[in-house]
Amino acid sequence: MSEDEGRPAPEHVPLEKITDHIWKIPQYKKDMNVSGIVFANQSLLEKMQADRTLWQCANVAQLPGIYKHAITLPDGHEGYGFPIGGVAATDYNEGVISPGGVGYDINCGVRLLSSDITEQDIRPHLPVLVETIFRNVPSGLGSRRKDLTISNSDLDRLAVDGVNFLVERGLGWKEDAEHCEEQGCMMNANPDVVSNTAKSRGLTQIGTLGSGNHFLEIQKVDKIFNLKTAKTFGITHEGQIMVMIHCGSRGYGHQVCSDYLRIMEHAVQKHKINIPDRELACAPGSSLEARNYYQAMACAVNYAFVNRQAIMHWVRQSFQQVLKRDPEKLGLQLVYDVAHNIAKIENHKIDNETKKVWVHRKGATRAFPPGHQDIPTDYRNEGQPVLIPGSMGTSSWVLVGSQKAMDLTFGSTAHGAGRIMSRSAAKRKYWGGEIRTSLEKRGITVKAASPMVLAEEADGAYKNVDTVVDVSDQVGIATKVARLVPLSVVKG
Residues serving a catalytic function are: 415
Residues facing residue 448 across a β-bridge: 491
Q: How far is Cα 367 from Cα 146, in angstroms, rounded to an integer?
A: 35
CB 415 within 8 A of CB 262: no
Give me the DSSP letters along 416-464.
Answer: S--BSS-HHHHHHH--HHHHHHHHHHTT-EEEES-HHHHHHT-GGGB--
Helix (H, G, I), strand (E, B) or coil at 218: strand
Q: How far is Cα 444 from Cα 438, in angstroms, rounded to an integer?
A: 9
Q: How far is Cα 30 from Cα 7, in angstroms, rounded to an integer?
A: 24
Among 390, 377, 325, 312, CA closest to 117? 325
Q: How many CA atoms lie within 13 A of 352 on its CB side?
A: 0
Helix (H) or strand (E) holding 399: strand 396-400
Beta-carbon contacts of 366 under 8 Å, excluding residues fewer than 6 positions away, are 181, 338, 339, 344, 384, 386, 401, 411, 412
Q: Which amino acid belongs to residue 63?
A: L
Give me the DSSP letters along 87-155.
Answer: EEEEETTTSEE-GGGT-SSTT-EEEEE--S-BHHHHGGGHHHHHHHHHHHS--STT---SS----HHHH
Q: How far is Cα 246 from Cα 111, in angstroms, rounded to an integer?
A: 7
Rounded to 5°, the CA angle 40-396-255 comes to 85
